[in-house]
Structure 1
Amino acid sequence: MIIGNLHSLEMATLPNALLQILTLPACSLQALHAREDGRFQPVGAAWFCNIAHANTSPAHERHTEFHQQWLDIQVVLEGEEIIGFDTRSVVGQHAVERKPDLFILENPCLSNQILLRSGDFVTFAPGEPHRALCCNQRPAVVRKAVFKIPFSTMKG
């Protein structure tokens, strides 16, 4: 897991593959703000990005997920959200695959949380559990971009 802000990418110590994506002009905070909601994928890129508005809600109403093949970069564009997470891998724990490579944990144990505001991002590698879209004080609308990068492209 890596935490940072799009305005100070050098402080995040991102792997080169992720830094190359987030420094693309199309992936600046200003460019992401200007995009309409939906999916975008540059020609020839193995990764894609979904931009959408969503509603935050209390943590106990949110599910905890992880992936096995994709790395997420979750960027808040507008509003704020709390994301719960744990630093221990959950690969091998009992989970339900709700969609391809979207595993929902039945009995999650998340010992940490982070508050993200506009421009803030967090990465989640395969096996890292996370509970996104938790409200800070009361439910609200947040707009975010979620980059999906095949983890296999991070190796080598």
Structure 2
Amino acid sequence: MIAGNMKHLTLATLPKSLYEILSHPKFSLEKLQSLSDGKYQIEGASWFCNVGDSQTSPAETRHTEFHEDYLDIQLILKGEEIINYSLTNAIGQSAVEKKPDLYILDNPMLTNGILLREGDFVTFYPGEPHQALCMVNEPAVVRKAVFKVPKEII
């Protein structure tokens, strides 16, 4: 897991491939904030980005997920959320595959949390369990860009 802020991207010490994605001129924070809801992909790229609004809720009501084939970069465009996570490998743990490469853990053990606000991002590598969209003080709308990056280009 790597966390950072779009305004201080070099401080995040991202691998070159992820730095190139987040520093791409078409995906600056300001440009992402101006996009309509939807899926965005640069021609020829194997990675893509989903932009949209979501509702935060109490952690007890949120599922914990992980991926095997893709890395997530979750970037806050507006609002705030807490993402709970663990520094363990969830691959091989008891989980249900809800859709391709989206595994929901049956009995997650999350030991950490990170508060994200506008411009903040966090990466979750394949196998890293995470519980997104946990509310800060009360349920609220958060606007996010979620980049899906195949593990082969990491």
TM normalised by structure 1 equals 0.98
User: What is residue 89 of structure 2 aligned with on the other side?
Assistant: 89
Q: Which residues in structure 2 correspond to 1:86-125 (within 5 Å)?
A: 86-125=86-125
SS at match of 2:83: strand
Corresponding letter in the other structure for 1:137:
N
Q: Distance in 2 between matches of 1:81 and 1:139?
A: 9
CA shift for structure 1 position 48: 0.3
CA distance in 2, matches of 1:89, 1:80: 26
Partner of 2:38: 38
Q: RMSD across aligned C-alpha pairs, in angstroms?
A: 0.4
Aligned to 2:62: 62
Q: 1:57, CA displacement in angstroms?
A: 0.1
Q: Deviations over 1:30-75 (max 9, x none)?
A: 0100111100000000000000100000000000000000000000
Question: Using the alignment, how far apart are the partners of 1:97 and 1:146 within structure 2?
Answer: 19
TM-score normalised by L of structure 2:
0.99
User: Which runs of no fewer than 5 residues in structure 2 stay unpaired?
Assistant: none
Deviation at 1:26, TM superposition (A): 1.0
Paired amino acid for 1:125: Y
Q: How far apart, in 2, do the equivalents of 1:20 and 1:153 lie?
A: 11
Aligned length: 154
**Corresponding residue of 1:9:** 9
5+ residue gaps, structure 1, are none
CA separation in 1, counterparts of 2:7 and 2:16?
17
